[in-house]
Amino acid sequence: MSPTPDALAAAEAVAAASGRASHEVTLVLGSGWSEVVAGLADPGSEVTIPMAGLPGFTAPSAAGHRGTVTSCLVDGVALLAIAGRTHLYEGLGPEPVVHPAHVAAATGSRVLALTNAAGGLRNGMAVGDLVLLRDHLNLTGRSPLTGPLFVDLVDAYSPALRAAAADAIAGTTSARPAEGVYAQMPGPQYETPAEIHMLRTLGADLVGMSTVPETVAARGLGLNVVAMSLVTNLAAGVTGQPLDHTEVLAAGAAGAARLTTALRALVPAVARL
């Protein structure tokens, strides 16, 4: 695969606005993570562009997604931070969903770092936990790939990047993130307790409505992927309580400082591996 023409045009626009011809890492910030971008950048290195001003981007419709693209340095590493994403449930097809992966490739990134808010399925998980993804279940019935493009997903989430990220985060937060399997459901409705029981039986530790298409596209583009979930709620049937998107955003806001610290450690660690 090669980056789309819109992705190449977006990369050129970012380079012109930021003065940086390339970015070593591209980071996508999901629900509850978007405000972290304000604390990531080295002082004086931040240039922010509205998504609406860049080719191929669609302004996110879900609450908690900023809709900005920021070029900055993180401990000297050139980072492109995309605050907000388009989801399959918005009905626009997979192309805008995976556009950030194409932009990452177009801007020269070797690494695509993905974040999301997720429901915790595994016993012992708590709201606020950070979990590095080691694999996924694609239960959307959709793929961003078309035609005879057979992408190997054995190590969709790079073991080397996971290890580097875990070591870096543990060194700054004193808590080593766990690893888990992420299941993507179509959304936008939350899962039923019976669906959560099914997912646990299938081996899922986390559930959400994003990340998988971007990962598949990124691997097709030759990028290495590292992904991390913030557990923002315990999934349907685990606590017996109803689910609400506001608790997802609240969990992100409550952990903003810790998320910023984790990502400031992760970005240079995966870039310099």
Domain limits of the chain? 5-271
What local confidence, expressed as pLDDT, does residue 263 receive?
95
Question: Is residue 254 very low, low, confident or very high in pLDDT (cuts 50, 70, 90)?
Answer: low
Q: Report angle CA 40, 265, 79 to the nearest 5 degrees.
A: 50
List C-alpha distances in Å: 220 to 61, 129, 148, 213: 27, 30, 12, 11
List C-alpha distances in Å: 182 to 30, 46, 133: 14, 32, 6
The class level of CATH for 5-271 reads alpha beta
How many CB atoms neighbour CB 199 within 10 A?
A: 22
What local confidence, expressed as pLDDT, does residue 236 receive?
64
What local confidence, expressed as pLDDT, does residue 162 receive?
98
Residue 231 CB contacts under 8 Å (≥ 6 apart), including other chains: 118, 119, 120, 125, 126, 127, 128, 129, 130, 131, 206, 251
pLDDT tens-place string over residues 125-149: 998 899 999 999 999 999 999 999 9
Rounded Cα distance between 224 and 178, Å, is 20
pLDDT tens-place string over residues 82-93: 998 999 999 999
Is a pLDDT exceeding 60 seen at residue 237?
Answer: no
* Active-site residue list: 31, 65, 87, 89-90, 117, 209-210, 233, 245
What local confidence, expressed as pLDDT, does residue 158 receive?
98
